[in-house]
Amino acid sequence: MKIPISHKATRRNQRWFFAVMIVLFVPCAFYLKLSYSQFADGVGRIPDIVKQFLQISPEDLPVLLRELLTSLIIAFLSVVISVFLSLLLSFLIADTTAPNRWIAKGLRLIVVIVRTIPTTIWVLLAVASMGFGSMAGVLGLLFPTTSFLIKSFTAQIDEAGKEPVEAIRALGGTWWHVVFNGAIPTLYTTFLALIAFNFEITVAETVILGMVGAGGIGVLLQEYISYYEFAPLLMGILVVFLTLFALELMTNRIRKRLARGAR
């Protein structure tokens, strides 16, 4: 006796999904003018590019480390400012703590609009208004970072339930008592884990967005790419890789310790 593991409607939807993908693949490939000969030529040049990349140069290491520090500071300042803004706004938006549902809906709509605009666009707008440099990086990262944290904090506040909030209100507590005596102590470790995770993402974004004028090590990497300076470029890539790898290990350890401490 065969036991079906999925519903007929689910299997039908899956078949439609894959059929539509296959049908759309060919016109999409023609629209982008993807060429097999171009792909083959590119693959043929890979050995030469690899040889050029193997010529690592430590001469630019001090400059790379200095610009890397700039990228880390840009990310840190963006996250710190975003945390203060997000903590206030998330409690005004969350269903369980919102003092006014119309204000909450308006703020939620603004956050959705901010999140729909890519981070690169925010940085380009900041560069256009502030000029190239670190100020544009901090300002450009501030909007997407804040919207991400607001969404994450709001979800955690709503998942925590209304019981602590209702208990404090029953004792005559104000909205500030609800926030600082009820919600934050309960969600403190969760918020810290989210902040650590967001800092890791923001550092990676800072490196990439530096290539469009946000300052930091991304500016150097863009220069190396433009002038085909593969030796310092490889050193820069290694510096970025080791930094992001160390950050991931650090944030994972922080999240594990916070999870153990919350039990």
159-183: b (≥16 Cβ within 10 Å) or e: ebeeebbeebeeeebeeeebbeebb
Q: In this predicted structure, what is the pLDDT of residue 69?
A: 94
Q: Contact, 114 vs 147, CB < 8 A?
A: yes
Predicted structure pTM score = 0.80
Q: In this predicted structure, what is the pLDDT of residue 6?
A: 55
Q: In this predicted structure, what is the pLDDT of residue 51?
A: 77
Which of 218-224's residues contact partners 24+ apart within 8 Å by CB, and which partners?
218/71, 219/67, 220/60, 220/63, 220/64, 220/67
Structure tokens at 178: 């609800």
pLDDT, one tens digit for every residue, the chain (263 residues): 445 555 677 777 888 888 888 888 888 888 888 777 888 888 888 788 777 777 777 888 899 999 999 999 999 999 999 999 998 899 889 888 888 889 889 999 999 999 999 888 988 888 888 888 888 889 999 999 999 999 999 988 888 767 766 777 776 777 777 777 777 778 888 888 889 889 989 998 898 888 888 888 888 888 888 888 888 888 999 999 999 999 988 888 887 777 776 55
Q: Which CATH class is domain 57-262?
A: mainly alpha
Q: In this predicted structure, what is the pLDDT of residue 5?
A: 52
Centre a 10 Å sphere on the Cβ of residue 3 and count the other Cβ atoms it contains: 4
- Taken in order 124, 127, 130, 134, the sign of the CA dihedral is positive
Burial (CB < 10 A; 0-12, 13-18, 19+), residue 24, is exposed
Q: Contact, 139 vs 81, CB < 8 A?
A: no
Q: In this predicted structure, what is the pLDDT of residue 19?
A: 87
CA atoms within 13 A on the CB side of 53: 11
Provide the 8-state DSSP code for 5.
S
